[in-house]
Structure 1
Amino acid sequence: TMSSSLQLIRISNGQYSVCPNAVKQLESIEEDIGVVAVAGAYRTGKSFLLNELLRNIRTYSSSKHASTSKFSENVFQCGPSVQPCTQGIWICTESILIGNEQHSKPFRLLFMDTEGMGSFKASETHDAQIFALALLLSSFFIYNSSHTIDDNAINRLGLVTQLSQYIQSSPKQASLADHSRSPSKRSLSTSSISSQLPFFLWVVRDFSLQLHGTSGERINSSQYLEMALSVTNENDSAKNMEKKHTVKQMIQDYFIDRDCFTLVRPVNEEDKLQHLSSLSQYELRTEFTKEMNNLANYLYTHVAPKTLHNQVLNGRQFVLLCQQYCESLNKGSIVIDSCWENVVRSEAERLISECRALYQREIKQIVAQGTILSLDEFQQLHLDAEKKAMQHFLNKLPNSFKNDKTLYQNDLKNQLVYDFQYYKEKLKKASNHYCIKLVNDQLTLLDSKLKSNQYLKDETMEHFQRDVKAMVQEYQDNASGSEKDTVLLEALLTWLLPSIRSLHQMHLNHLKESSQEEQKQIVTEHITNLDFLKQQYQFEQDSLQQRLNALNETYQKQLSQNQKMQDELHLKTQLVDEHESTISILQSDISTRKQENLSLQSKIEALNEELDESLKSISDLKKQLRDIKATDNDAQEELYSVRMSNQTLKIENESHLQTIEFLEQKNNQLSIQSVDLTKDLNSAKRQFEESQSALADANQILEQNKQLLKNTEQDKDAMSKKRKRLEEKLLEYRNQIQDLENKIRQHELVIMNKNSHIRSFEREMEYEREKALENEDRLRHSLKEKERLLAQDKTLMLERQVEQLNATNRRILEINKNVMEENALLREELIKLGGSLKESSARGALGHLSAGEDNRAHHRSSTDHSKHSEMRRKESLNGGTPLANNLSQMVSMHTLPPRHVSR
C-alpha cells in the first residue's frame, strides 16, 4: 500500500480539533507507538527532511520486520515557493514497526509534520501553541534550522520562553502560574514540565563550517550545541544579553536530553534546490546522503515509545490524549495531569464496558439455552462470571491506573450487581411461568381423577394422598428456578382444600346411598366426630377471626403509617437535601413489611400443618368406622341366633316383637336425630366454608399488603426519579456555567491573542527603532569621520595659504619700512629747502600725497580684512585649529598703517 499523509490537528477560528480521519487511522493501531515530530521555521525543508527520514528508517526496519508499505514517494508535501505548505499538524498514514536495543518489544513509529514558525500568516501565539502541541505529543522531537546556531537561530527558538504559559504540569501549578511569575516558581514550573518533554535533537541544515572550539580544537556537533548555548556576545546591550541568556537557559532547563546533528547542503545547484522533492537519491550529494543515513541510524537507535506518567501509549490512547490537549488548549493552556486523568477515565470506562460485556456473555450463554437455574445455581454462575470479568479487568488495567484501581473496581462491581439483579428478575419470571405451567398440568390430571370418581372407593384417602405426594415429588423433580416452592405453595392453597371438600362430599353422598343401618352407625359416629370437628372448626374459626382482627389492625396501622408516609413524602419532595433520610425510612418500612409477610407465610404453613392434622384425624375416624362395621356384623350374627332361638320359644318371640316395636320407635327418633345431625353437618360445612372465605380474605389482605409494599417501592422509584431529575437539572446548570466559563475563556483567549499581536507589533517597532538608532549612530559616525578627514585637508590648505600670506606680509613690511625711511628723508629735505611761499604749496602737495597714500593703505587694509574674515568663517566651519588662530593673530598684528609716501 502506498503511504500518504493525513491532517491530525486542524485550527479553525483559533480553535484546535482532531480530524476524524486521523482518529479512525490511529485507533486501529493496537501496538505501542512512538512519535517523531519535526518543527522549525517555515520554508526551511522540514517536510523534505521527514520524507528522507522515512525512506532511511524504512530501510532499517525492513530487515527486521516485514512490511508491505512503500515510502519511495513523498509522503509530506514540499513546495518551491515562499508560501507555507503545512497547516496545523500532519501524520503519515503508515506506521513503521521497529524494535531497537533499548526496547525489545516492537512498537509502531509515527512521523509528524508541523506548521512552520514565523509565517506571515500566523501570529506568535499560534506558533507557540503549535510548538507546545508538537512537544507534548512526540517522543522524539527534531528542531530544524539552517546554516549555523548563532544568536538569530537562538532568538528564533525563543518560543520556549512561552511554554510555561501554555503548558502546566498540574492544576496547582496552573494556578501558581496565573498568580506568580517569580524566578523560584518559574524554575519549579520548568523542572516539572521538562520531565514531560521528549528527546530534543537540533538538526542544522546546509552546514558548511568547520567544527572547532574556542581554542581551535576539533569538536563534534553535540559539543557545538553546548558551546552555542553557553557563549555570550559581550558587545550586545544588557537587554539583549539578558533576553538571549533567558532563551539559552530555558533550552537547557527544558530539554535535558538533547543533541545536535549537522547536514551539508543536499545539492550544489541553485535551480535544483527548489525541486528537491522531485530529485532521485542519485542526484543528491554523497556527503548529504551519508549524513542522512547516520541521522536515520541515530533516530532508529534512540527513539522510544510515547509515554506519559510511565504508561506507554497505544494508538487509541494517543488519540484520546490529542483530543484532551486540544480541548485544554482551547480553554487557554494545557494542564498535563488533568488531560491524563481524563484519558485514564475514558480508558477505564472503556475497560469497564468491556468487562461488563464479558460478564453478560457468560450469563447469556447459560440463559440463552433455556436452562432455568435455581437461585443458588444462578448465584454461583454470577460469582464465576464476576470473577472472570474482574480477572480480565486486572489483567488489562495499565500500571499507571493502579492508584485508582479500587475506585474503578467498585464502579465495575456496581454495574455487575445491576446486571445480576436484571438477569435474576428475568430468570425469576421464566421460572414462575414454567412452574405454573408444570403444576397446572399435574393438577389437571388429579382433577380428572376426582371427576371420574376414582377416589370414591378409597375410604381412607390413602390413594388420594399417594397421588398428591407423587404429584409433589414429580413437580419437585421437574420444576426449577427461584419460584419453584412459591408456585407449589400457592397452587396447593388454591386447589387442595376445595378438592378435599369435594372428596368429602363425594364420600358423604356415598354413605347416604349405603344401607340404613350403616347410615345410622355412620350418623352416630359422625355425630361424635362432628362435635369434635365442630369444636375444632369453632376453635379454628376463632383463631382465624383473631388472626383476621390482628391482620385488620395491622392493615389499619399500615394504612395510617402509609398516610403518614405519604404526607412525609409530600413534604420531603419539596426539600432535595432530605431525600436520603426519606429513602432510609422507606427502606426500614419495607424491611418490616417483609418480616410481616414472612410471618404471614409462616402462619399459612401452620394452617397447612393443621389441615394435614385434620386429614389425619378424618382417616382415624374412618378406621374407627370400619371397626364399628366389623362389630356390627358380629351383632347381626348374634341376632340371627337369637331369632332362631325365638322361633322355638314363642313367648320370647312376642316379647322380642314388643322389643322390636320399641326399637322401631327408637329408630324413628334416631332418624329424626339423623336429620338434625344432617342439618348440623350442613351448618358445620357452612361454617367451614366461612372459615375458608375468611382464609381467602386473609390471603386477599396479604395480597393487599404485597400491593402496598409494591406501591411503597413505586413511591421509592418515583422519589429516585425526582432525585435524578433534580440531579439532571443541577448537571444542566453546571453545564451552562461551564459553557459560560468556556465563553469567558474564549474571550480571554481572543484578548490574549490581540495582546500578543500588540506585543509582537511593539517588539517589531522596538526592533525597527533600535535599527533606526543604530543606523543614525552609524551615519553620525560616518559624518564625523568625513568631517574629520575634510577638516584635516582644509587645515593643510589653510596652513599653506597662511604661509603664503606671511611671506607676502613680510615683503610688505620691508617695503613699508623703506617707504617710511624715504618719507622721513623727504620731509627733512622739504623742511630745509622750503621757503615761505613754497612752504604753503609744499604743504598742499604733501597733504595731497598723504591723502592718496591713505586711500591706498585703506584699500589694502579692507582687502586684508575681508580675506581674514573669510578665513575665520572657514575655520569656524572646520572647527578651527590653534595654529590657524595664531597665524590670524599674527596677520592682524602686522597690518600696515594707513600711510602714503610719495617717491
Structure 2
Amino acid sequence: MASKIHMPNPVCLIENKDRKLVVHQEALQLLSGIHQPVVVVAIVGLYRTGKSYLMNKLAGKKSGFPLGSTVQANTKGIWMWCVPYPGRPDQTLVLLDTEGLGDVEKGDAQNDSWIFALAVLLSSTLVYNSIGTIDQHAMDQLHYVTELTERIKAKSSSEEEAELEDSAEYVRFFPTFIWAVRDFSLQLELNGQPCTEDQYLENALKLRKGISREVQLFNLPRECIRLFFPTRKCFIFDRPTNRKNLHRLEEMEESELEAEFVEQAIQFCRHVYKTSKPKTIPGGHVVNGRLLANLVETYVDTIRSGGVPCMENVVLALAQIENSAAVLEATSRYVELMDQKLQLPTETLQELLGIHAKCEDEALQVFMARAFKDDQQQFQVELMQSLGQKKEAYCHKNEVESSKRCKALLTQLSEELEDRINKAFYSRPGGYPDYFNDLKAVGMKYHQEPGKGVMADVVLQQFFKDKEDVGRAILQSDEALTEKEKEAEDARARAEAAERESEIQRQQQAELEQKMEDQRRSHEANIQYLKEKMESDREKLLEEQNKMMESKLREQQMLLEAGFQKHANELNEQINHLRDQCEKMKKRPWYAGILDFASLLLPGIFSRALKR
C-alpha cells in the first residue's frame, strides 16, 4: 500500500533533554502512517563535521536539517526526515540526523554512546562522518563502536551473557557502514601507489601484531568495525569552500562550491540510493514505518528504564503486537469484502461459500503479509477461528433474510386462502378438494417466484405443516367424501408431508457436506499459505546465515593474509558451526510443524487425508 509523505521539513524523533532521551509522539504518528518498507539512513559523527549537509543532499534539498554556523552543535537527539525514495516508488527513505558526538557543552559521554547505539539499531545504512584523515586519532574518536556489545544484545540467553556475544549474530541486523571523510587533503596513495577510497579504509583497519596493551588498544576499534560491519565503504570529500564561506553553505549555489566536492557529494548520494536496502529485523522481516515507530519506542523505553536493548526480545514483542494486529486487519478486510460482494439472501449456500472462499483468501494474504514469527501458528489459528465465526454469522444472517422474504411471500400468496379459511368457505360438502387445490396453487406460485434464498423449502414445509390441522378438520367435515376416501386423502397428505420433510433432510445433508468441503478447502488453503510463508522465512534465515558465514570467511582470509594465523584459526569453530546450521536448515523436515498445525486447526479426517 503506497503512503503519501508530507514532510516538508525534518522533525525531532528522539529528543536529548536534560540527559534523558524522549520520543516525540508526533514523529511516531508520522512514521506509523507509512505502510511501505523503509530504507533508513542514519549519520553519526563528531559535532561540527558537516553531517547535516550530507543528509540534506540525500533528501534532495539545500536546507532542512540545520547546518549551524557556529562552534555549537545544532542537532540535539535524533531528527528524522521521511522522503520519497528516488527511483523506488514502493519504498520510503527515512533520514536520521544525530546530534554531534563529543559536544563539550553536553558533557555526557553516556548519552553519546546511546545515540550511537540507536543509530546502529534503527538504520539499514550507517554513515560515520569524520574530519581530516583516518588515523589513530580518528579511531580513538570512534570508541563508541567498541561499546556496542555493552549497549546492544543480540540474544537473551544466560549462556550468551556469560560470554562475549558472537559478532556474527550482530551481522544479522547491523547496517552497512559508510565512512565519510570530510576536508580530506592528502593524496590517495599507499606505498607510493594510487589507491581507491575503499583500499584506503581497509589499510586503515589493518591490525597490528603483538599482545601488548598498546597493540590491543590499537586493534580493538578496528576489530569491532571489521566484525560488526563486514559490508563497508569509504568516501572522501574535499573542503566544499573556503573557511570564511562555510557559515553560508546553505545559501550557496553548487556553482560556487568546489567542483571536486560537488562531484564527490553526487557520487556519495548515488551510492547510498543504489545500495541501501530496506530495514529488516532478525529473521529477514522487512520493516515499514509502523514497525520502525514501534522499534524506536521500544528501544528508548528500554534505555530509559536502565536496560539494554535485546534484539531477540524486541522481535518477540513486535511479533506479538503485529500478529495480533494482523488478525484484526485480516478479519476487518474479510468483513469489508463480504459486505461488498454478498447480496442476501443468496439463492444457494454454495453461492455464499464461493464468495466466502474468495474473501477468506484475500484475508489470509493480508494476514500473511503482516504477520511474522508466528512459530506455533497461534495467530493463524486465531484468524481462522475468527473467520469461521464470521462465516457462520453470515450463514445465519442469510437464513434469517431468506426466511423473512419467504414468509412475506407466502403471506402475500396465501391471502385469498386465509380469507376463505376465516370465512369457513371450505366448511361444506366438497370443500376439501377445493382447499387442497387452492393450497397446492399457493405452493406452485411460491415455487415460481425467484430470489427466495436458502430457506425456501424449509419455510414452505413449515407453512404446509401449519395448515395440517386446518386441512384435517376440513377433510373430516366434508360430507361429500366417504370415510374410506377421507382416510386415503389423509394418507396422501401425510405421505406428501413426509416426502417434503425427507427432501429437506437431504438438502440439509447436502449443505452439511458443502460446509465440510469448504472446511477442507479452507484447511488446504491455510496449509499452502503456511508452507509458502515458512519456505520464504527459511530462505531469509539461510540468507542471514550465509551473510554471517561470508563475513567470517572474509575476516578469516584477511587475517591469514596479514599473518594472523592464530586469530584466523579461532574463527574456524564459528564458521563450522554456521555451516552446520545452514546444512540442517536445508535438510530438516520443515513441513512437520505444518501437519501438527493441520491437526490443531481441523482435526480428524482432513489432517489424515493431508498426511496421505
Q: TM-score normalized by structure 1?
A: 0.48
- SS of corresponding position for 1:277: coil
Equivalent positions of 1:208-357 (< 5 A) are: 208-213=185-190, 215-230=191-206, 238-269=212-243, 271-308=244-281, 309-331=283-305, 332-357=307-332
**1:107-138 Cα shifts (integer Å, max 9, x gaps):** 44332211221224253332222212212222
Match of 1:34 among 33, 36, 39: 39
What's the secondary structure of 1:385's corresponding residue? helix
**Higher RCO (CA-CA < 8 Å; seq separation 6+):** 2
Do the aligned partners of residues 134 and 417 (structure 1) sit closer, same or farther apart at CA in structure 2, a change above 3 Å counting?
same
Q: Which has the larger radius of gyration?
A: 1
Aligned partners of 1:167 and 1:264: how far apart in 2?
35
SS of 1:245's equivalent in the other structure is helix
How far has the Cα of 1:407 moved from its partner?
4.7
Aligned partner (choices 42, 45, 49) of residue 50 of structure 2 = 45
- Relative distance call for 1:123 and 1:352 in structure 2 (3 A) is same
- Once the two structures are TM-superposed, the CA of residue 344 in structure 1 deviates from its matched residue by 4.6
Deviation at 1:6, TM superposition (A): 1.6
- Where structure 1 has 5 or more consecutive residues not aligned to the other structure, the ranges are 59-70, 100-104, 512-521, 534-608, 618-903
Give distance in 2, aligned partners of 1:262 and 1:94. 25
Quick check: 1:168 aligned with 2:153?
yes
The aligned residue for residue 815 of structure 1 is none
Letter in 1 for 2:147: Q
Match of 1:363 in 2: 338
Q: 1:199, CA displacement in angstroms?
A: 1.6
Instruction: Report what 1:143 is aligned to.
Output: 128
Question: Which of 129, 143, 155 is equivalent to 2:114?
Answer: 129
In the other structure, the counterpart of 1:79 is 68
**Which of 395, 407, 410 pairs up with 1:424?**
395
SS in 2 for 1:94: strand
SS in 1 for 2:75: coil
1:194 maps to 171
Q: 1:612 aligns with which of 485, 490, 499?
A: 490
Name the amino acid aligned to 2:338: I
1:480 corresponds to 2:452: yes
Mapped to 2, the partners of 1:315 and 1:428 lie a distance apart of 43
Query: Which structure 2 residues correspond to residues 470-619 of structure 1 after superposition, within 5 A?
Result: 470-478=441-449, 480-481=452-453, 483-498=455-470, 500-501=472-473, 504-505=476-477, 507=478, 612-613=490-491
Q: In structure 2, what is the Cα distance between the partners aligned to 1:616 and 1:418? A: 38
CA contact (8 A) 1:311 1:400 kept: no
Asked if the contact 1:325/1:334 (under 8 Å) is kept, the reply is yes
Q: How far apart are residue 468 of structure 1 and its match? A: 2.3
Q: Please state how far the C-alpha of 1:76 moved relative to its aligned partner.
A: 0.6
Please list the CA deviations of residues 728-751 of structure 1 after superposition, one character each: whole Å capped at 9, or x if unmatched: xxxxxxxxxxxxxxxxxxxxxxxx
Please state whether the residue corresponding to 2:53 is helix, strand or coil.
helix
1:9-60, CA deviations, whole angstroms, 9 ceiling, x for partnerless residues? 3356776565344344445545443222110112222112323454xxx4xx
Alignment of 1:814-829 (within 5 A): none
The structure in which a higher percent of residues are helix is 1
The question of whether the paired residues in 2 share the 8 Å contact of 1:363 and 1:382 is answered with no
Q: CA offset at residue 464 of structure 1?
A: 1.9
Alpha-carbon distance change, 272 to 448 in structure 1, aligned in 2, over 3 angstroms: closer
Distance of 1:362 and 1:212 partners within structure 2: 65
Between 1:455-464 and 1:255-264, the stretch displaced more is 455-464
Give the AA of the match of 1:152. Answer: H
Q: How many residues align?
A: 486
Distance 2:117 2:400 in 1: 59
CA distance 1:239–1:420, change in 2 (3 Å): same
The residue that corresponds to 2:9 in the other structure is: 4
Deviations 1:514-556 (A, max 9, x none): xxxxxxxx9xx98xx9xxx9xxxxxxxxxxxxxxxxxxxxxxx
TM-score by length of 2: 0.68
Change (3 A) 1:481 1:149: same
User: What is the rounded CA distance, in whole Å, between the counterparts of 2:238 and 2:304 in structure 1?
Assistant: 40
CA positional deviation for 1:495? 4.1
Would you say 1:109 and 2:109 are equivalent positions? Answer: no
With over 3 angstroms needed to count, the CA separation of the structure-2 counterparts of 1:502 and 1:459, relative to structure 1, is closer
More off after superposition, 352-361 vs 153-162? 352-361
Query: Residue in 2 aligned with 1:728?
Result: none
* Separation in 2, partners of 1:423, 1:13: 57
Is the CA contact 1:37–1:141 (under 8 Å) kept in the aligned structure 2? yes
SS of corresponding position for 1:8: strand
CA contact (8 A) 1:92 1:110 kept: yes
Q: 1:490 to 1:304 in 2, by over 3 A?
A: closer
Q: Distance in 2 between matches of 1:438 and 1:294?
A: 77
Query: Partners of 1:614 and 1:216 in 2: how far apart?
Result: 114
| In structure 2, distance between residues paired with 1:379 and 1:33 | 43
In the alignment, what sits opposite 1:381?
Answer: 352
Does structure 1 conserve the Cα–Cα contact (< 8 Å) formed by 2:329 and 2:366?
A: no
The aligned amino acid for 2:490 is D
For the 8 Å contact 1:324–1:342, the answer to whether it is kept is no
Identity of matched residues, %? 27
The 1:611–1:404 alpha-carbon spacing in structure 2 relative to 1, beyond 3 Å, is farther
Distance in structure 1 (CA, Å) of the matches to 2:310 and 2:387: 34
Aligned partners of 2:102, 2:366: CA distance in 1, in Å?
A: 48
- On the 8 A contact 2:402/2:453 being kept in 1, the answer is yes
